[in-house]
Amino acid sequence: MSKKTVLITGCSTGIGKLAAKTFHARGWNVVATMRAPERETELTPKDDMLVERLDVTDPASIQSAVETTLERFGAIDVLVNNAARGGHALLEQSTDAMTRQMYETNVFGTMNVCRAVLPHMRRAKDGCIINVTSMAGWVGLPLETSYCGTKHAVEGMTEALAWELKPLGIRAKTVAPGAYMRTEFNSNANDDDFEAGGPELATYAKQLLEHFRSSVTAEGGDTADPQEVADMIYACATEDRPVHNPVGQDAELILSMMAAPPRQEFLDKAEPLLLPPS
């Protein structure tokens, strides 16, 4: 049987890089893409490893990476949409520019890469698309209004896509990590707006952030191993998994609370995790 090929976006750091290493270690052809491949030092190009430029907001770079992959390996069996932007701010603090950057990357960028790859999967009548979302795609989190909006959008889009693609032999999945503080995602987040709105608003925002981080720490976010997420991505590519796949103790806790109808009961239960006592 010929080796399968995976194309992964956002491989310069964190979960994307771990996913690239995980697939490669298990015998796959890997196309690890990022905005600045010239800076990459860990993922070494080999016969079965390509390191390519792909900016999800640049359609030409998407098309170039897809064409290079097909020329080299002949197929794209799995697409992992991992590239994303994050940031912390109250909605009142958030600039239009920051919000649009998140949507351009997290939502429209994901859609753009899917559109570029799907014709090839459709012709093959096989394939799997895995969109990395977040527990923020399931529950609204304070200070992440824009980010939550993007991840809710990708969760919904992927669920709809799964229905569209099932008759064509193609699978669509989401992997929704909790807060893995040992990745570079939070340190790379855009917090430029966090001080906006004056001292009173900035102080309130800091109180919310400190409380949420203490809740995440209590649920193991500081010590959680992000390799768990890479392993879940690989499982979605190789096993019969549901459309939505939370990973991490905090994400699983949040989703277990949501099992109790009506939804307001879940919101009442979640409040102590998200808001400090009044």
Q: Which residues are catalytic?
A: 147
**CB hemisphere CA count around 149 (13 angstroms):** 17
* Spatial contact of 65 and 53, defined as CB atoms under 8 Å apart: yes
Phi, psi of 132 (to 5 degrees): -80, 120
Count of other CB atoms within 10 angstroms of residue 103: 16
CA pair distance 249, 268, nearest whole angstrom? 20
What's the Cα-to-Cα distance from 17 to each of 29, 79, 213, rounded to whole Å? 14, 14, 24
Partner residues linked to 67 by β-bridges: none
What letter would DSSP give residue 99? H
